Chains A and B, each alone.
Chain A
Amino acid sequence: MGNALRFSRRSVLKTMTAAGGLGALGAGLPWTPAMAKTLVIGFLYVGPRDDYGYNQAHAEGAAAVKAMPGVKVLEEEKVPETIDVENSMESMINLDGASLLFPTSFGYFDPYVLKEAKKHPDLTFLHCGGLWTPGKHPANVGSYFGYIDEAEYLSGIVAAYASKSKKLGFVAAKPIPQVLRNINSFTLGARSVDPAITTAVVFTGDWSMPVKEAEAANSLIDQGADVLTCHVDSPKVIVETAEKRGVFCTGYHASQATLAPKGYLTGAEWNWAKVYTDFVKMVQGGIKPPNLVRGGLKEGIIKTSPYGAAVSDAARKHADDVKAKFMDGSFVIYKGPIKDNKGNSVIAEGKSHGQTDIALESMNWLVEGVTGSIS
């Protein structure tokens, strides 16, 4: 039995590798065998790498790297945000000769990644979170992140067309700026279609709490929400609950389309395969990767899930039009006047904050149309 189980797990990973490999070839630079020294790359995940969510998105990126020539990929999952991060990286460096590390959890950065980077100035540490500040952080550290709220805005548009009750539901882990930005972008997208739409939010309190998430999804549906979305580490339970209760949903982190063949509309996904293969090619080619890499749909860091069958033509057209504007960089989500849900003006008329605007990174308000408050 054991072998059969292992086989099935490996086959899942193999499929992922194959899928990622194709992507890598498409964007490929020619690789010359002259630099034939194997590059050992370590990936650290905070949760299980087959969670249909945050960690799987990164593992799919790692799988794409694995398919590249001249690399050896090491992976460790469920590394908690403690001194274990330092220990695991040290172990990869000392015992396996890793020279490029991808600590993929936001909470790994300070102090663990910073400490390790200072200790090993000749190695490269690329962290997912977009936290690098010049002058403050070591030069051999890079940090990358994507403006996934662009895809959330598109999901909001699609959700608005699908909703009959004009009520959307959002299951979120914690009221932190990244999450609030997704909630707000999703809601702004939906309200750009129909200003009568509202979004109800439930915070579960942590990144992975399946029973709470299911309970939250059910409460939201009971309150009339007929499109659900979420920002938790693994959207699986929420997407499955929505499908069971016969409402629509949009995904997050990775594609959950197979979990909800009827109700899955679209989703906001990371495209780490591109980011990671690009980084690895730079390192292989002797180019120092940039310290701060951020981008959205245009830069290919973010992608959207293919539309589900339930998405109407009008919705597709509207979303595709806006997506085209994201792609040419002409669309701004946070353009005044925007009020928060307490009636205060947060972005004044005539003012607009583009994606890279640092002001958006300390977002601590919920936009008009969201029910709920941040305690």
Chain B
Amino acid sequence: MRPFLHGAVTRLSATLSAPLSALALPVAAVAVSLALFGAFVALVGVDPVEMYQLMYRGAFGTWFSWQNTLTRAAPLILTALCTALPAQLGLVIIGGEGALVLGALAAAAAGMALNGAPAALVLPAMALAGMAGGALLIGGAGALRQWRGVNETISSLLLTYIAIAVLNHMVEGPLKDPSSLNKPSTPPLADAYMIGTLPGSSVHWGLVAGIVCAVAAWVLMRRTTFGFAARMVGGNPRAARMAGLPVGRLLVVTTALAGAAAGLAGMVEVAAVHGRASASLVAGYGSTGILVAFLARQNPLAVIPVAVLFGGIGASGGLLQRRLDLPDASVLVLQGIIFVVLLASEAMRGRLHLFTFARPTATPATKEA
């Protein structure tokens, strides 16, 4: 028994140490960022300890705070995937906002077109339309990259501005509900088509959709040949091409999937929150999603807890305004600091041995009780 157990412990510590040390760095980076932000607010005369207590209370301190945090996290998971998936191929996509907006518009249009049909038909159709809208935008950026060599970072951003203009044009023009007088929007969705909340909470099903998509994205990228090929392209495009991998197809499919994720976020916003498409859909979930993806080191699974963390920061923002008279931009500053410190921390990767367990040659630490 003993040698077997020994082996198991060693294997266990080996499988644990990789993710743990991968975790150590972002955790340390967040800690450093919190210290820096604390110093920053101290400069403007706010007690950092009091501030962090308040932030904790506003984000995770009560059941209500948790619901607030999780509702905010839901769209962030999906928009983060919009950046994290193409990152596997080495692309930097920052068009999640545009994909969300276009997806929302497409979903609302589908809902309008199918009004009267059973919800079991309308909701999947809206979801498909939303995903198609997002896929079109980000897949377009991927295709431009592949076939015209257009930089995908800049094109995805420009496409976002264009998508927002299209949204505004459509909700004030062709798709406008004549009775939406002072707030131009598409006709409201019937109650039957609205996605409800998780039982016993105010958190809508978008959270579940996000988690499912994140897990699916992780499985796709880590457990399938497609994902393996995609990551190979990300590691070394030339070698991938020489190995006969269909680089172009991988690139376009991955960017389209990424866009579909953000498009689904748009559909959820329409069907679970707004009940219609209007200019209010442009709420910055796309840009925060970029941040979430980077903080999660582009790992689709890690996106989930990071989105919750950022949902929490957002949820606590109001309390900072009300209790401490801090400006709303405090949240932006904190996010910016976290992002900068995290990127700088990349340089420390591989040098940090804080969480590495005892080597197999050393005496096993565990003994049978």
Contacts and interface: CB of A to CB of B under 8 A. Distances in A.
B71 interface: yes
Interface stretch (B125-133, B181-189, B291-299, B300-308): B181-189
A160 B62 CA distance: 59
Interface in B59-75: 62, 64-65, 67-68, 71-72
A90 B321 contact: no
Contacts of A178: 181-182
B333 interface: no
B168 A91 contact: no
Chain B binding surface SS class:
helix
A358 to B, nearest CB: 11
A83 B319 contact: no
Nearest to A116: B202
Contact of B181 (A87, A107, A176): A176
Interface in B281-327: 281, 283-284, 314-315, 318-319, 321-323, 325
A174 B62 CA distance: 41
Interface residues of B, number: 40
Contacts of B44: 2-3, 5-6
A263 B275 CA distance: 45
Contacts of A110: 188, 275
A91 B274 contact: no
A111 B180 CA distance: 13
Interface in B144-183: 168, 172-173, 181-183
A94 B168 contact: no
B38 to A, nearest CB: 14
A174 B315 contact: no
A95 B319 contact: yes
B198 to A, nearest CB: 14
Interface in A317-375: 361-362, 375
Given A3-B45, A74-B322, A83 B181 contact: no
Given A3-B45, A6-B44, A87-B315, A96 B182 contact: no
A109 B265 CA distance: 22
6 contacts: A75-B322, A76-B328, A95-B319, A176-B184, A206-B279, A362-B181
Interface of B: 43-45, 57-58, 62, 64-65, 67-68, 71-72, 168, 172-173, 181-184, 188, 202, 269, 273-275, 278-281, 283-284, 314-315, 318-319, 321-323, 325, 328
